[in-house]
Amino acid sequence: MENILEETRFIMKKYNIKANKSLGQNFLINGSVIETIVESSNLKKEDLVIEIGPGLGTLTKYLLEKAGKVICIELDKKMIRILEDRFNLYNNFELLNQDVLKVDLKKLIKSEKEKYNFKNVKIVANLPYYITTPIIMKLLEEKLDLNNITVMIQKEVADRLIATPGDKETGAITYSVYYYATSEGILEVPNDSFIPEPEVTSKVIKLNIRKNPPVEVKSPKVMFKIIKSAFMQRRKTLLNALVNTKVFLNKEEGLEILKELELAEDIRAEKLKIEDFAKITNKILEKTI
Protein backbone atom coordinates (compact mmCIF):
# COMPACT_ATOMS: atom_id res chain seq x y z
CA MET A 1 0.00 0.00 0.00
CA GLU A 2 1.28 3.47 -0.89
CA ASN A 3 1.86 6.15 1.67
CA ILE A 4 -1.69 6.92 2.63
CA LEU A 5 -0.80 9.77 4.96
CA GLU A 6 1.00 11.65 2.18
CA GLU A 7 -1.77 10.95 -0.31
CA THR A 8 -4.43 12.16 2.15
CA ARG A 9 -2.51 15.37 2.92
CA PHE A 10 -2.01 15.96 -0.81
CA ILE A 11 -5.72 15.55 -1.60
CA MET A 12 -6.78 17.72 1.33
CA LYS A 13 -4.41 20.48 0.22
CA LYS A 14 -5.34 20.24 -3.45
CA TYR A 15 -9.06 20.55 -2.75
CA ASN A 16 -8.65 22.85 0.24
CA ILE A 17 -10.38 20.43 2.62
CA LYS A 18 -10.62 20.85 6.37
CA ALA A 19 -12.19 17.90 8.15
CA ASN A 20 -15.75 18.76 9.15
CA LYS A 21 -16.15 17.64 12.76
CA SER A 22 -19.93 17.91 12.74
CA LEU A 23 -20.02 15.36 9.88
CA GLY A 24 -17.81 12.95 11.83
CA GLN A 25 -14.92 13.32 9.40
CA ASN A 26 -11.88 11.40 10.59
CA PHE A 27 -9.95 10.14 7.62
CA LEU A 28 -8.19 6.79 7.78
CA ILE A 29 -4.44 6.92 7.15
CA ASN A 30 -3.37 3.50 8.40
CA GLY A 31 -2.74 1.10 5.53
CA SER A 32 -2.80 -2.08 7.60
CA VAL A 33 -6.18 -1.14 9.09
CA ILE A 34 -7.56 -0.60 5.59
CA GLU A 35 -6.12 -3.95 4.54
CA THR A 36 -7.80 -5.68 7.49
CA ILE A 37 -11.17 -4.08 6.70
CA VAL A 38 -10.96 -5.12 3.05
CA GLU A 39 -9.82 -8.65 3.91
CA SER A 40 -12.51 -9.18 6.54
CA SER A 41 -15.22 -8.22 4.08
CA ASN A 42 -13.98 -11.06 1.86
CA LEU A 43 -14.94 -9.28 -1.34
CA LYS A 44 -15.50 -10.98 -4.66
CA LYS A 45 -16.45 -9.80 -8.13
CA GLU A 46 -19.96 -11.16 -7.62
CA ASP A 47 -20.46 -8.75 -4.69
CA LEU A 48 -22.16 -5.40 -4.56
CA VAL A 49 -20.61 -3.16 -1.89
CA ILE A 50 -22.33 -0.17 -0.40
CA GLU A 51 -19.83 2.17 1.24
CA ILE A 52 -21.29 4.69 3.66
CA GLY A 53 -19.31 7.92 3.99
CA PRO A 54 -16.43 7.37 1.52
CA GLY A 55 -14.93 10.78 2.39
CA LEU A 56 -11.75 11.29 0.35
CA GLY A 57 -12.03 7.77 -1.08
CA THR A 58 -9.13 6.12 0.77
CA LEU A 59 -11.00 2.88 1.43
CA THR A 60 -13.07 3.15 -1.76
CA LYS A 61 -10.03 2.65 -3.95
CA TYR A 62 -9.40 -0.82 -2.51
CA LEU A 63 -13.08 -1.78 -2.55
CA LEU A 64 -13.29 -0.91 -6.26
CA GLU A 65 -10.44 -3.30 -7.03
CA LYS A 66 -12.08 -6.25 -5.27
CA ALA A 67 -15.86 -5.91 -5.64
CA GLY A 68 -18.16 -6.17 -8.65
CA LYS A 69 -19.55 -2.73 -7.95
CA VAL A 70 -19.23 -0.10 -5.23
CA ILE A 71 -22.04 2.34 -4.52
CA CYS A 72 -20.83 5.17 -2.29
CA ILE A 73 -23.24 7.26 -0.26
CA GLU A 74 -21.70 10.54 0.89
CA LEU A 75 -23.50 13.53 2.38
CA ASP A 76 -20.74 16.14 2.05
CA LYS A 77 -20.84 17.93 -1.32
CA LYS A 78 -17.16 18.84 -0.97
CA MET A 79 -16.20 15.16 -1.13
CA ILE A 80 -18.25 14.54 -4.25
CA ARG A 81 -15.91 16.39 -6.61
CA ILE A 82 -12.90 14.61 -5.17
CA LEU A 83 -14.51 11.19 -5.49
CA GLU A 84 -15.68 11.91 -9.04
CA ASP A 85 -12.21 13.07 -10.06
CA ARG A 86 -10.56 10.03 -8.48
CA PHE A 87 -12.85 7.27 -9.64
CA ASN A 88 -14.46 8.52 -12.86
CA LEU A 89 -12.59 5.94 -14.89
CA TYR A 90 -13.83 2.97 -12.90
CA ASN A 91 -16.90 1.49 -14.55
CA ASN A 92 -17.94 -0.19 -11.29
CA PHE A 93 -18.20 3.04 -9.27
CA GLU A 94 -21.41 4.89 -8.43
CA LEU A 95 -21.86 7.84 -6.13
CA LEU A 96 -24.95 9.12 -4.33
CA ASN A 97 -24.75 12.56 -2.72
CA GLN A 98 -27.30 11.80 -0.01
CA ASP A 99 -27.86 11.32 3.69
CA VAL A 100 -27.61 7.55 4.17
CA LEU A 101 -30.44 7.67 6.71
CA LYS A 102 -32.77 8.92 3.97
CA VAL A 103 -31.80 6.49 1.23
CA ASP A 104 -34.28 3.76 0.32
CA LEU A 105 -31.71 0.98 0.57
CA LYS A 106 -34.24 -1.79 0.03
CA LYS A 107 -35.21 -0.39 -3.36
CA LEU A 108 -31.59 0.32 -4.29
CA ILE A 109 -30.41 -3.20 -3.48
CA LYS A 110 -33.35 -4.82 -5.24
CA SER A 111 -32.82 -2.92 -8.48
CA GLU A 112 -29.03 -3.48 -8.47
CA LYS A 113 -29.48 -7.19 -7.88
CA GLU A 114 -32.03 -7.44 -10.66
CA LYS A 115 -29.86 -5.50 -13.09
CA TYR A 116 -26.50 -7.13 -12.41
CA ASN A 117 -27.33 -10.41 -10.74
CA PHE A 118 -25.07 -9.80 -7.72
CA LYS A 119 -24.77 -12.82 -5.46
CA ASN A 120 -23.96 -10.92 -2.29
CA VAL A 121 -24.51 -7.45 -0.92
CA LYS A 122 -22.09 -6.12 1.70
CA ILE A 123 -21.77 -2.90 3.63
CA VAL A 124 -18.26 -1.63 4.27
CA ALA A 125 -17.59 1.66 6.02
CA ASN A 126 -15.65 3.81 8.39
CA LEU A 127 -18.85 5.27 9.81
CA PRO A 128 -19.48 8.85 10.92
CA TYR A 129 -19.54 8.31 14.71
CA TYR A 130 -22.25 10.86 15.50
CA ILE A 131 -24.84 8.58 13.85
CA THR A 132 -23.37 5.10 14.35
CA THR A 133 -26.39 3.63 16.11
CA PRO A 134 -29.12 5.00 13.79
CA ILE A 135 -27.18 3.77 10.75
CA ILE A 136 -26.63 0.26 12.15
CA MET A 137 -30.23 -0.01 13.32
CA LYS A 138 -31.46 1.11 9.90
CA LEU A 139 -29.30 -1.54 8.23
CA LEU A 140 -30.67 -4.23 10.55
CA GLU A 141 -34.29 -3.25 11.09
CA GLU A 142 -35.13 -2.58 7.45
CA LYS A 143 -34.41 -6.26 6.84
CA LEU A 144 -32.28 -5.51 3.81
CA ASP A 145 -31.05 -8.23 1.52
CA LEU A 146 -27.55 -8.06 3.03
CA ASN A 147 -24.90 -10.68 3.77
CA ASN A 148 -22.67 -8.78 6.10
CA ILE A 149 -21.69 -5.40 7.47
CA THR A 150 -18.04 -4.54 8.20
CA VAL A 151 -17.72 -1.19 9.92
CA MET A 152 -15.37 0.91 11.98
CA ILE A 153 -17.13 2.50 14.94
CA GLN A 154 -16.33 3.77 18.45
CA LYS A 155 -14.92 0.95 20.58
CA GLU A 156 -17.34 1.59 23.42
CA VAL A 157 -20.35 1.28 21.11
CA ALA A 158 -18.76 -1.68 19.33
CA ASP A 159 -18.35 -3.63 22.57
CA ARG A 160 -22.01 -3.08 23.44
CA LEU A 161 -23.25 -4.04 19.97
CA ILE A 162 -21.29 -7.27 19.73
CA ALA A 163 -21.66 -8.45 23.34
CA THR A 164 -23.44 -11.74 23.88
CA PRO A 165 -26.60 -11.03 25.92
CA GLY A 166 -25.65 -11.68 29.55
CA ASP A 167 -22.08 -10.28 29.16
CA LYS A 168 -20.90 -7.31 31.19
CA GLU A 169 -21.33 -4.87 28.27
CA THR A 170 -24.92 -5.91 27.54
CA GLY A 171 -27.37 -3.10 26.80
CA ALA A 172 -30.81 -3.02 25.18
CA ILE A 173 -29.20 -2.67 21.76
CA THR A 174 -27.14 -5.85 22.27
CA TYR A 175 -30.34 -7.91 21.94
CA SER A 176 -31.39 -6.13 18.74
CA VAL A 177 -28.06 -6.79 17.07
CA TYR A 178 -28.07 -10.39 18.33
CA TYR A 179 -31.58 -10.92 16.94
CA TYR A 180 -30.57 -9.84 13.43
CA ALA A 181 -26.94 -10.91 13.22
CA THR A 182 -24.04 -12.87 14.59
CA SER A 183 -21.12 -10.61 15.27
CA GLU A 184 -17.36 -10.52 15.64
CA GLY A 185 -14.82 -7.98 16.80
CA ILE A 186 -12.13 -7.70 14.14
CA LEU A 187 -9.59 -5.10 15.25
CA GLU A 188 -9.08 -2.34 17.79
CA VAL A 189 -7.81 0.77 16.09
CA PRO A 190 -5.70 3.44 17.82
CA ASN A 191 -6.60 7.13 17.46
CA ASP A 192 -3.48 7.95 15.45
CA SER A 193 -4.79 5.87 12.53
CA PHE A 194 -6.89 8.89 11.48
CA ILE A 195 -6.51 12.55 10.68
CA PRO A 196 -7.75 14.39 12.58
CA GLU A 197 -7.54 11.98 15.52
CA PRO A 198 -10.94 11.13 17.02
CA GLU A 199 -11.38 11.57 20.77
CA VAL A 200 -12.26 7.91 21.25
CA THR A 201 -10.68 4.56 20.45
CA SER A 202 -12.17 2.76 17.46
CA LYS A 203 -12.92 -0.82 16.56
CA VAL A 204 -13.75 -2.69 13.39
CA ILE A 205 -16.64 -5.11 13.77
CA LYS A 206 -18.35 -7.49 11.41
CA LEU A 207 -22.03 -8.40 11.55
CA ASN A 208 -23.14 -11.48 9.62
CA ILE A 209 -26.85 -11.21 8.92
CA ARG A 210 -28.81 -14.23 10.15
CA LYS A 211 -31.03 -16.09 7.71
CA ASN A 212 -33.41 -16.96 10.55
CA PRO A 213 -33.90 -15.25 13.90
CA PRO A 214 -32.46 -17.05 16.97
CA VAL A 215 -35.80 -17.04 18.84
CA GLU A 216 -39.43 -17.35 17.99
CA VAL A 217 -41.38 -14.40 19.26
CA LYS A 218 -44.91 -13.36 18.34
CA SER A 219 -43.88 -9.73 17.89
CA PRO A 220 -40.20 -8.74 17.75
CA LYS A 221 -41.33 -5.10 17.96
CA VAL A 222 -43.05 -5.70 21.30
CA MET A 223 -40.03 -7.68 22.53
CA PHE A 224 -37.66 -4.81 21.73
CA LYS A 225 -40.01 -2.38 23.55
CA ILE A 226 -39.94 -4.64 26.61
CA ILE A 227 -36.15 -4.90 26.46
CA LYS A 228 -35.90 -1.10 26.26
CA SER A 229 -38.18 -0.75 29.29
CA ALA A 230 -36.09 -3.29 31.21
CA PHE A 231 -32.87 -1.39 30.50
CA MET A 232 -34.29 2.09 31.10
CA GLN A 233 -33.92 1.38 34.79
CA ARG A 234 -31.04 -1.06 34.67
CA ARG A 235 -30.05 -0.60 38.32
CA LYS A 236 -33.45 -1.84 39.43
CA THR A 237 -34.50 -5.46 39.36
CA LEU A 238 -36.19 -6.59 36.17
CA LEU A 239 -39.42 -6.96 38.13
CA ASN A 240 -39.42 -3.36 39.36
CA ALA A 241 -38.29 -1.97 36.02
CA LEU A 242 -41.11 -3.74 34.18
CA VAL A 243 -43.73 -2.82 36.78
CA ASN A 244 -42.63 0.84 36.74
CA THR A 245 -42.81 0.99 32.96
CA LYS A 246 -46.23 -0.77 32.95
CA VAL A 247 -45.04 -3.80 30.98
CA PHE A 248 -46.28 -5.88 33.92
CA LEU A 249 -49.71 -4.71 35.15
CA ASN A 250 -48.55 -5.04 38.73
CA LYS A 251 -46.06 -6.84 40.96
CA GLU A 252 -48.27 -9.93 41.32
CA GLU A 253 -48.49 -10.43 37.58
CA GLY A 254 -44.76 -9.88 37.24
CA LEU A 255 -43.93 -12.39 39.97
CA GLU A 256 -46.22 -14.95 38.40
CA ILE A 257 -44.56 -14.60 34.99
CA LEU A 258 -41.04 -14.76 36.45
CA LYS A 259 -41.96 -17.89 38.38
CA GLU A 260 -43.46 -19.58 35.32
CA LEU A 261 -40.25 -18.87 33.42
CA GLU A 262 -38.08 -19.99 36.33
CA LEU A 263 -36.39 -16.62 36.64
CA ALA A 264 -35.31 -15.31 40.07
CA GLU A 265 -37.44 -12.54 41.61
CA ASP A 266 -34.43 -10.26 41.94
CA ILE A 267 -32.86 -10.91 38.52
CA ARG A 268 -31.55 -7.87 36.63
CA ALA A 269 -32.18 -7.17 32.95
CA GLU A 270 -28.62 -7.74 31.77
CA LYS A 271 -28.67 -11.31 33.07
CA LEU A 272 -31.48 -12.35 30.71
CA LYS A 273 -30.92 -14.27 27.52
CA ILE A 274 -32.85 -13.24 24.43
CA GLU A 275 -34.89 -16.46 24.88
CA ASP A 276 -36.07 -15.14 28.27
CA PHE A 277 -37.22 -11.85 26.78
CA ALA A 278 -38.95 -13.76 23.96
CA LYS A 279 -40.81 -15.88 26.54
CA ILE A 280 -41.81 -12.83 28.61
CA THR A 281 -43.08 -11.17 25.42
CA ASN A 282 -45.09 -14.22 24.37
CA LYS A 283 -46.63 -14.49 27.88
CA ILE A 284 -47.62 -10.84 27.88
CA LEU A 285 -49.09 -11.06 24.39
CA GLU A 286 -51.06 -14.18 25.41
CA LYS A 287 -52.54 -12.24 28.33
CA THR A 288 -53.56 -9.24 26.25
CA ILE A 289 -55.35 -11.26 23.56
Among 47, 74, 112, 159, binds ligand SAM (CB under 6 A): 74
| Cα 160 from chain centre | 11
Among 48, 70, 95, 100, binds ligand SAM (CB under 6 A): 100
Q: Which is nearer to ligand SAM, 98 or 164 (CB)?
A: 98
Question: Cα dihedral angle (276, 278, 284, 286), rounded to 10 degrees?
Answer: -120
86 vs 279, beta carbon nearer ligand SAM: 86
Nearest to 154 by CA among 87, 202, 90, 99: 202
Q: State which residue, 200 or 285, has the beta carbon closest to ligand SAM.
A: 200
Please identify, among the stretches 20-28, 175-183, 244-252, 264-272, the one whose residues bind ligand SAM according to the rule CB under 6 A: 20-28
Q: How far is the CB of 37 from ligand SAM (least distance, A)?
A: 9
The CA distance from 71 to 49, in Å, is: 6
**Considering beta carbons, is residue 26 or 148 the nearer one to ligand SAM?**
26
CB-based contact 63:92 (threshold 8 Å)? no
Site residues (CB under 6 A) for ligand SAM, limited to 119-138 = 126, 128, 131
Nearer to ligand SAM, 55 or 165 (CB): 55
Is residue 63 near ligand SAM by the rule CB under 6 A?
A: no
265 binds ligand SAM (CB under 6 A): no
Binding piece for ligand SAM, criterion CB under 6 A, among 48-56, 107-115, 201-209, 273-281: 48-56
CA distance 78 to 267: 52
d(CA 36, CA 51): 16
- Least separation, in Å, of the C-beta of 8 and ligand SAM? 8
Closest CA to 202 of 212, 210, 211, 192: 192
C-beta of 205: minimal distance to ligand SAM in Å?
A: 15
**Measured between alpha carbons, how far is 122 from 106 in angstroms, rounded to an integer?**
13
> What are the residues whose beta carbons fall under 8 Å from the beta carbon of 49, sequence distance 6 or more?
41, 43, 63, 67, 69, 70, 71, 121, 122, 123, 124
CB 50 within 8 A of CB 63: no
Q: Does 150 bind ligand SAM (CB under 6 A)?
A: no
- Binds ligand SAM by CB under 6 A, chosen from 85, 99, 156, 216: 99
Single residue of 17, 26, 41, 174 touching ligand SAM by CB under 6 A: 26
Report the alpha-carbon distance of residue 8 to residue 56 in Å, rounded. 8
Q: Which residue has its beta carbon closest to ligand SAM? A: 53
What are phi and psi for residue 250, nearest 5 degrees? Answer: -160, 180
Which residues lie near ligand SAM (CB under 6 A)?
23-28, 52-56, 58-59, 73-76, 79, 99-101, 126, 128, 131
